[in-house]
């Protein structure tokens, strides 16, 4: 597995270098690279928010998935350099719509800075939540390298207090940066490239669909970890059931924002906006729009309304796979046509371009970026437990099974 992931990552890097050597133009060549960047941000980098949400809500059902979710922060080691590469390929922004207006260095410097801060916050969150487990490894294997990152952690009451509050504070900052990074990525790498694309719906649509895909990514990661020997005792039904309860409302939110964007353009009927409308929804990329709508809303909704599917492990896992595929198709639908019409400021969409299918380099970059993320996961899991053991132990200490009528229920104490 490591060898395959490494080989695909190298192939993707070579393909990216080939694109860089030949220069930024034609801009259409960068569409799939931008799509995979947005896909990774919307899936793996959205996953840590689920861990933060379960901590904020004191949901003990989320303990088995928190480590799997927070490992998504490792994706920033892939997306941050990729974001910088794409920012350097953008056409001139003089006179182009942007949230930065005429700020010096905008949007390149400020978008890169936002991506860097987002990466640092995510990695800090992963490190802080892993400290007690790294310290346990240091005690179990004295003299080894695994305990070096936890030097200074002795488990004092003050350290536990800082840890419990720190993961909440960092999680809150991570959520804020996630929303902001989604805003700058979709506005500067997609919307600003398309003439007359003025929409207040697309940025929140991008973030909300990312949160849906983040939950799906976490459940798929958890399902993969559960197949490892001995992991079934730690990963049971509860995290999948809890995740399914979140996938259902996120699917409904996906429908709401899609309908809001559709309704505005349909009734506006401005000629310039109609061209944008047909470019992304009912023109050459109609297939992507319909497929994305079905995979992100229709199928998850029709499946998760049934208790036998929702209250299971296989059901939410299958729905998560559909959502993940749907998010990839949706990002292709947004970014590939946007880069295919990128050009001088002031041009109009007199003629819609044909649908752009991926070439060999595009396929290698998409597969290579995903493989590099998987490679980072596998390498880190050699040093960090797949389950947050200190939180798992805390959950065991605070819960007890009690009889209730003809069954048993788990009573959980919540000290804070």
The DSSP secondary structure of 230-266, one letter per residue, reads T-TTTS-SHHHHHHHHHHHHHHHHHHHHHHHHHHHHH
Q: How far are the Cα atoms of 6, 8, 190, 197 from residue 375, in angstroms, in the given order?
A: 7, 10, 29, 38
Mean pLDDT, residues 242-256 = 95
Q: When comparing pLDDT for 374 and 95, which is higher?
A: 374
What confidence category does residue 368 fall into, taking pLDDT thresholds of 50, 70 and 90?
A: very high
Spell out where 223-380 has E strands. none
Mean pLDDT, residues 310-331 = 96
310, 241 Cβ separation under 8 angstroms: yes
pLDDT at 102 over 80: no
Question: The domain containing residue 370 runs over which residues?
Answer: 2-349+357-391+398-412
What confidence category does residue 199 fall into, taking pLDDT thresholds of 50, 70 and 90?
A: confident
**Domain count for the chain:** 1
Please report where in the chains the tokens 């001088």 appear, as a residue: 344
Mean pLDDT, residues 112-125 = 96
Question: Is 0.75 surpassed by the pTM of this model?
Answer: yes
Mean pLDDT (the chain, rounded): 88
Q: When comparing pLDDT for 194 and 151, which is higher?
A: 194
pLDDT digits (tens, 9 = 90+) for 17-26: 999 888 778 8
């Amino acid at each position: 597995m490591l060898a395959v992931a490494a080989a695909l990552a190298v192939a993707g890097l070579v393909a990216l270098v080939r694109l860089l050597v030949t220069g930024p133009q034609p801009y259409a060549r960068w569409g799939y690279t931008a799509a995979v960047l947005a896909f990774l941000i919307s899936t793996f980098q959205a996953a840590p928010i689920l861990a933060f949400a379960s901590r904020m809500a004191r949901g003990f059902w989320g303990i088995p998935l928190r480590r799997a979710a927070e490992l998504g922060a490792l994706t920033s080691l892939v997306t941050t350099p990729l974001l910088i590469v794409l920012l350097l390929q953008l056409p001139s922004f003089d006179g182009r719509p942007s949230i930065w207006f005429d700020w010096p260095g905008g949007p390149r410097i400020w978008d890169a800075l936002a991506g860097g801060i987002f990466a640092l916050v995510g990695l800090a969150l992963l490190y802080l939540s892993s400290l007690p487990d790294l310290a346990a490894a240091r005690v179990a294997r004295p003299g080894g390298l695994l305990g070096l990152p936890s030097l200074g952690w002795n488990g004092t009451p003050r350290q536990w207090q800082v840890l419990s509050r720190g993961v909440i504070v960092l999680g809150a900052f991570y959520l804020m940066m996630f929303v902001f990074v989604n805003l700058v990525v979709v506005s500067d790498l997609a919307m600003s490239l398309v003439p007359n694309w003025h929409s207040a719906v697309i940025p929140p649509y991008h973030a909300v669909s990312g949160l849906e895909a983040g939950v799906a990514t976490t459940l798929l990661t958890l399902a993969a970890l559960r197949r490892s020997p001995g992991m079934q005792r730690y990963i049971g039904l509860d995290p999948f059931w809890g995740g399914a309860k979140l996938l259902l409302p996120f699917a409904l939110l996906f429908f709401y924002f899609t309908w809001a964007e559709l309704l505005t353009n349909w009734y506006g009927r401005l000629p310039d906006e109609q061209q944008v409308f047909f470019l992304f929804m009912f023109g050459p990329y109609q297939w992507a729009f319909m497929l994305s709508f079905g995979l992100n809303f229709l199928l998850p909704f029709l499946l998760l309304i049934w208790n036998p599917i929702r209250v299971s492990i296989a059901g939410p896992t299958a729905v998560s796979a559909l959502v993940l595929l749907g998010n990839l198709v949706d990002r292709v639908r947004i970014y590939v046509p946007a880069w295919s019409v990128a050009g001088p400021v002031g041009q109009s969409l007199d003629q819609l371009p044909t649908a752009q299918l991926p070439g060999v380099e595009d396929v290698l970059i998409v597969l290579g970026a995903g493989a590099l993320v998987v490679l980072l996961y596998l390498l880190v899991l050699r040093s960090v437990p797949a389950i947050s053991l200190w939180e798992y132990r805390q959950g065991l200490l605070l819960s007890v099974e009690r009889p209730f009528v003809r069954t048993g229920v788990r009573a959980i104490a919540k000290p804070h």
